[in-house]
Amino acid sequence: MDAYNVLIIGSGPAGLFAALQLERLGVDRIGIIDRYPYPAGGLLNDGKLNFDYRVGIDLDELKLDRDSAQRLMEEIKLVFAQFPKCRQVTFLDRNEKIEALESIAGEHGVQFIAPEQWHWGTDNGKAVVDYLKNLLKKTEFLLGTAATSIVRQNDDTYHVLCSHQRKKVCHAAKVVLAAPGRSGAYWFRDVAAKLNVCHNFGPIDVGIRVELNRKFYDEVTDIVYDPKFIFRTTRHGDRVRTFCTNPGGRVRSENYNNFKLVNGDALAGRKTGNTNFALINTVSLTAPYSDTTEFGHMIARQFFLLGGGRPIVQRVGDFREGRRSSISTFNSRTRHFGLCRATYNATPGDITLGLPARIIDNLWESLKKMDKIVPGTLHPSTLMYAPEIKFFDTHFITDEHLETNVKGIFVAGDGTGKSRGIVGAGISGIIAARGIFRKYF
């Protein structure tokens, strides 16, 4: 059995930045466990960095003030600034153009946020992971190793039971930092419950990915690479927002255990004629049923069945007419509408069969407002893919160091409700690492 001072579960941005911080503080014998043979997490996706305390960071959840959050963002920025393929894509000195967009959005009751943004592109994802890995000198990577359970010993150390190449292995540690990411959130919630780690259910984001001809959206993304529009719907008073815009990008899917979700990305070296963005509705549940994770899984499994194992895509022109898109009409000369060709091979169908009516109402109201801000958004050829679901919902109750109620168990990243996105995940990893050092070394 290998013994470590700190075992980190998850090799995404939260885990990697935690390890970097621990090494800088002089901690050795650090291990990073990940079920994938190559470090994973959000770093392998589109690679967008939002340096704004309003995006990806919940100041109350992390117990931070704005100045502290800004200092942590600067630390993240210094690391990525040394990676040559990462470049700034949104500059806040374009004040007049940004203010004009804010004014237009405000006229329609929509909040507009323009963060400072950097980007490296999906095609540079492995290069950035290799760059971060090479910064680590005292950390051992235990890749292709799936953590299955965590057992607390009588001496307050932990045994992390794992499966590696179909063999059972065990690693011991004084401290465990769980940074499982969104894909590992469900697993860690069950493991944490057996350790009596306290958690509650927060909201999830459920919606669609919109893909349109990029000529309609370039006017906005030439100013702000990933614009953030936040809507408050009239009928229900619900929150809807845009997320993860990809100019010249592609729609793709993410594989979960028994369903698929849509997502989007953009390559640095090759662009398409389309732009895509997520439009997601924040969903909170109350008693008697508050398990938002299971609610999201239920929606995703339903789409998986309806789409024959793939997400569903529907043209706006068909949606307006109350008809499903079908294989026979999707690319027909009379129904194609001319401008936007799909970049992902989803199943043509009807998204209203899989999403609750309230969510459909909220998304459509928001899209109509978006079309007033960015004319052409609702061109009949625009595509709507479903489902897009972001699982940030299991919130673990922690102190200011991100230690849970169970001594020696810390959490960080999107999968534990402490962040949304790369920068936020990295910040939570740094906070947890400093807490681990302060309390145990």
* Segments forming the whole domain that contains residue 429: 2-85+120-201+394-440
pLDDT tier at 336 (50, 70, 90 boundaries)? low
Q: Give a yes or no: residue 431 inside a domain.
A: yes
**For 83-98, what is each residue's pLDDT tens digit?**
999 999 999 887 889 9
Number of structural domains found in the chain: 2
Asked whether residue 115 is domain-assigned, the answer is no
Query: DSSP for 143-163?
Result: ETEEEEEEEE-TTS-EEEEEE
In a domain, 105, yes or no: no
Judgement on whether residues 296 and 263 belong to the same structural domain of the protein: yes
- In this structure, the answer to whether residues 301 and 164 fall within a common structural domain is no
Q: pLDDT class for 338, splitting at 50, 70, 90?
A: confident
- The burial of 430, by beta-carbon neighbours within 10 Å (0-12 exposed, 13-18 middle, 19 or more buried), is given as buried
Backbone angles phi and psi of 273, in degrees to 5: -85, 5
- Residue 96: inside a domain, yes or no? no
Give yes or no: residues 192 and 287 share one domain: no
- pLDDT higher than 70, residue 337: no
* Strands 158-164 vs 167-178: parallel, antiparallel or unpaired: antiparallel
pLDDT digits (tens, 9 = 90+) for 284-332: 988 888 889 899 999 999 999 999 999 999 999 999 999 999 988 777 6
Burial class (CB in 10 A: 0-12, 13-18, 19+), 308: exposed
The H or E element containing residue 134 is: helix 125-135
Are 131 and 14 part of one and the same domain?
Answer: yes
Judge if 354 and 429 occupy the same domain. no
| Residue 426 belongs to domain with CATH number | 3.50.50.60
User: What per-residue confidence (pLDDT) applies to 258?
Assistant: 87
Residue at 285 is within a domain: yes
If asked whether residues 244 and 229 sit together in one domain, one would say: yes
Same domain, 161 and 288: no
Same domain membership, residue 408 and residue 265:
no
